[in-house]
Structure 1
Amino acid sequence: MNEIIGRIEEKSLLTEALTSREAELIAVYGRRRIGKTYLIRNHFRKQLVFELTGVHDATLSNQLNNFSLALQEAMGIAVPPAVPSSWIDAFQLLSNYLRTAIKKEPVVLLFDEMPWLSTARSGFLQAFAHWWNTVASRNPLIKVVICGSAASWIIRKVINDRGGLHNRVTKRIRLLPFTLEETEHYLRYLGVQLDRFQILQLYMAMGGIPHYLKQVKRGESAAQLIDRCFFAKNAPLKTEFKELYKSLFANSANHEAIIRALSKKAKGLSRAEIIEECGFKTGGWVTEIIDELEQSGFITQYIPFGRTFRDTLYKLTDEYSHFYLKFIEGARATGTGTWLKISQSSSYTSWSGFAFESICQKHVDPIKKAIGIAAVYTEVSTWRSMLAKGEKGAQIDLLLDRADHCINLCEIKFSAEEFVIDKKYAAELDYKVQRFKEQTGTRKSIFPTMITTYGVRKNLHSTGRVIAEVTMDDLFSK
């Protein structure tokens, strides 16, 4: 039996659906390689009686032939049933099979990569909705799971559908990458023993994508693993980027253009700036593409402190995409030792700072726990000072605006050893706090907070200046 690492809330929701006294239509979505199919197959391994996976860019006739083969597998017969002439006929065959498959216990049906099944003018979605409304929804023992890597398609076409599937989805699961804690557990499950600093470096390059992490081999350092997975002649993750967006989105060139623009702007871009950077003509379609990238987990929106939704900034938060565009695409250096050489460069320093900052912004709950405010309602944002001519700017990497009338201004620093606050950096911290107070006019208590890998070295400049600390180890907790 394959073990399911993490996914505590998701497994609880799936169990709840299985034991409910009504039919369930469960939408599971998330980016490619995130482990959607693995989760469903292993959690429902005893109840799964039918599984159909869409074929990318296949014709209607090929999809229907694929359905016939899936039904043959489910029925356990030597010869596949006749290929149905339409999806209406296909679902009739499925209904006939279920009459014998359903006994007294719940059964699960999985429609994987559903966006690929619903080809243009195929009638799949209409047939599926008709089958759900007239057959499946009437039997409390039927639990249907629909999956898709194109998260925005699932949301737009199924969850927010105004037709036959309107309000039909009973449970929604958006599967996200592993956290650092889950990544550590997954690597141990694979038999990989690495210290947390090396796991953090892997996460900065690959993110918490189970399929990518599966490439990790025992006995190799993080540097060796990154060399083999990204820079070797047949590196398994060197060509992933070319397929990643193409397999998820129609007209993916526009999606890639936005990803490339955001990869060059660590602090994010507004919608108007994205349009300008990419050379797009303004229109609703740009908003739709941004939404698709966000729903699929590649970018994240942030509202700067004291601003409104109209001031939303979008940041690239997919570690793999940023790493690929920074170091792999167009790279001349390849082979053994490439990553060790790169790690001595200034480009590595700028990338590691951004990557660590992005990871910290994804692990706000462990940060809150580490500084003792886990139960305090908190709004998370960033802040950048407004500049008058000739003024020095100031920026806060992560801001925790608390309901108990306090604000943690978090400085995030990646380092291979204890971080040292010298006289110059201490002056910068003081200036940031001062500018923040002046420009926001806040009356809340301000707590300068350092988030580092190995902590802040105690010295004259740190004592009394740093109110709270968070280390790399804290990020690995729940």
Structure 2
Amino acid sequence: MDKLIGRDKEYEELKRCFHSDRSELVIVYGKRRIGKTFLIEEFFDQQFDFKYVGAHGMTTRRQLNNFLNTLNSYSPKKYSHLGNWNEAFYALEEYLSTLPTNRKRVVFIDEMPWMDSGRSIFVSALENFWNGWAMSQRNIMLVATGSATSWMKDKLVANKGGLHARITCKLHLSPFTLNETERYLATRGIEWDRYQLTQTYMVLGGVPFYYSLLDPEQSLAQNIDRLFFNEGALLKLEFDELYNALFDNAELYTSIVRLLSEHESGMTNKDIFLSLPSKSSNISKAIRNLESSDMIEKWLQYGNKRRDAVYRLTDFFSLFYFKFLANNLSHDDEWWSNHINSGIVFDWMGNSFELICMKHHKQIKSALGIKGMATSLSTWQVKPDKEAGTPGGQIDMIIERADRIIHLCEMKFSTDTYRIKPEYERRLRERSGLFKELAKINKTLVHTFITTYGVANAKNKSIVHSEVTMDDLFNS
């Protein structure tokens, strides 16, 4: 297990299923490039009784032909034709029946959602295979993976038919944390300081495959130029490939994430509907699918009803794409190196650091000494009211504790200790007063600063009640 980083719980679950005394239907899902296939292949050391990889965009006929060829490479009996998925799974059943029964017979189907093309009967055939034969064998382990997380959840996890309550293990692979990123890059001979590692997270977002493309012999800036801005850059076309591989009608999905990329503080469901030129009835479904696929995230607004929750684009790669690639016509192979100290890059890093902090709220709780305490997370924003004469305000992350203390989190990314200026201190005090008044707060409010290297010890630091630094975010 030396090669696996940050997948300890998933590994133990796979081991439990492999050694159980029943048949196991295991699904592994998570965003594309997150390492689903790698996890399964490493756990089983590439030893499968049957392995098939679904192909994107193929017709059912071609999928069946591929399945036929794969099955014939395993089975002593050679099949000449598979008319539909029922026949395909029956042939698989025949082959598996020839294998020893004193051990788990392992079937690995990679990218299962891509097999369900057109008007195929794939899901019902899978139901028949599992319920009619595999489950009763008590020693079949079927592992299915899929990047189309919405398909995996809708067709398998939330299945109302034959697969209802049949899934015995669900593994959702999340992006690496900063800690896991650091450990993974160390195995590849990359030992940058944590400031640079945090910058890589802003671009690559904890997706292992993207990190595997980094060259240890190059600087971070050189790597970003090579991956995104050089002629023929490896990830220059990744955005379109990513969304087209995950979603039908990818144009609707990309229009939603583009919209959210322009509203960093988030948008409500209603705001999204009103802002899109197309009033497609599929917008709600697209929003749900984007959330299921870890591309966007829903945050409750403090004191508001659930329907007023805001959606934020939380896929770092997509945010980087819209900020620096989507409209970049410069043809500058070293664009990043030439602009690394520009205002636009520093602004982007500040916003990205806020998102990193929100993604690492567990590490923040631990640093604050409230790891085991019940808390709730939310955001808050209010628009200026000219008639009432009240200013607007925004707090990106609020941590409310069970002991009636509320942390108003300020997240600042800087190259040195952060110095609070008098004007900024005044704005913070006014904002907390506005929040307390409008949200009708009768609990204790504290300002928590989350910074790269801490807050400078100056007279305006008195507003800081608690601190968390970048190093704290790297804790496991």
Normalising TM by the smaller chain, what interval? over 0.9
1:69–1:189 distance in 2 versus 1, CA, 3 Å: farther
5 Å matches for 1:269-418? Answer: 269-281=267-279, 283=281, 285-385=282-382, 387-389=384-386, 390-418=389-417
Greater Cα offset, 52-61 or 231-240: 52-61
Deviating above 6 A after TM superposition, structure 1's stretches of 4 or more consecutive aligned residues are: none
Structure 1 residues 290-326: Cα deviation after superposition (integer angstroms, max 9, x where no partner): 0000000100001111111110110000000010111
Q: Which amino acid aligns with 2:405?
A: C
Aligned to 1:231: 229
Aligned match for 2:124, one of 123, 126, 131:
126
Q: How far apart, in 2, do the equivalents of 1:2 and 1:124 lie?
A: 37
5 Å matches for 1:82-93? Answer: 82-93=80-91
Q: How far apart, in 2, do the equivalents of 1:454 and 1:265 lie?
A: 28
Structure 1 residues 48-87: Cα deviation after superposition (integer angstroms, max 9, x where no partner): 2111111111122221121123223434x6x964242222
Q: How far apart, in 1, do the equivalents of 2:295 and 2:198 lie?
A: 19
5 Å matches for 1:27-46? Answer: 27-45=27-45
3-state SS of 1:26 partner: strand
2:144 aligned with 1:138, yes or no? no
5 Å matches for 1:47-66? Answer: 48-66=48-66
3-state SS of 2:206 partner: coil
Structure 1: unaligned runs, 5 residues or longer? none
3-state SS of 1:247 partner: helix
Q: How far apart, in 2, do the equivalents of 1:416 and 1:227 lie?
A: 22
TM-score with structure 2 length normalisation? 0.96
Aligned to 1:153: 151
1:282–1:91 distance in 2 versus 1, CA, 3 Å: closer
Aligned to 1:11: 11
Aligned to 1:260: 258
3-state SS of 2:98 partner: helix
Aligned match for 2:166, one of 168, 173, 180:
168
Structure 1 residues 162-181: Cα deviation after superposition (integer angstroms, max 9, x where no partner): 22222211221111111111
Q: How far apart, in 1, do the equivalents of 2:334 and 2:238 lie?
A: 21
CA contact (8 A) 1:202 1:222 kept: yes
CA contact (8 A) 2:396 2:409 kept: yes
Structure 1 residues 204-258: Cα deviation after superposition (integer angstroms, max 9, x where no partner): 0111111111110112221111111111111111110111111111111100000
Q: How far apart, in 1, do the equivalents of 2:151 and 2:89 lie?
A: 22
1:429–1:161 distance in 2 versus 1, CA, 3 Å: same
Structure 1 residues 243-285: Cα deviation after superposition (integer angstroms, max 9, x where no partner): 11111111111000001000000001111111122123263x2
CA contact (8 A) 1:204 1:355 kept: yes
CA contact (8 A) 2:452 2:469 kept: yes
Aligned to 1:438: 437
Greater Cα offset, 293-302 or 330-339: 330-339
3-state SS of 2:318 partner: helix
2:428 aligned with 1:458, yes or no? no
Structure 2: unaligned runs, 5 residues or longer? none
Q: Which amino acid aligns with 1:268?
A: G
Structure 1 residues 142-166: Cα deviation after superposition (integer angstroms, max 9, x where no partner): 1111111111111111211222222
By how many angstroms is 1:2 displaced? 7.0
Q: Which amino acid aligns with 2:15?
A: T
Q: How far apart, in 2, do the equivalents of 1:178 and 1:61 lie?
A: 38
Task: Give the root-mean-square deviation of aligned CA atoms.
Answer: 1.7
Aligned to 1:195: 193
By how many angstroms is 1:30 displaced? 1.2
Q: Which amino acid aligns with 2:404?
A: H
Q: Which amino acid aligns with 2:209?
A: H
- Give the length in aligned residue pairs: 474
By how many angstroms is 1:335 displaced? 4.1
Q: How far apart, in 2, do the equivalents of 1:17 and 1:303 lie?
A: 36
Structure 1 residues 391-442: Cα deviation after superposition (integer angstroms, max 9, x where no partner): 3222112100111111111001111111111111111221122112122222
3-state SS of 1:256 partner: helix
Q: How far apart, in 2, do the equivalents of 1:80 and 1:211 lie?
A: 37
Q: How far apart, in 1, do the equivalents of 2:303 and 2:186 lie?
A: 43
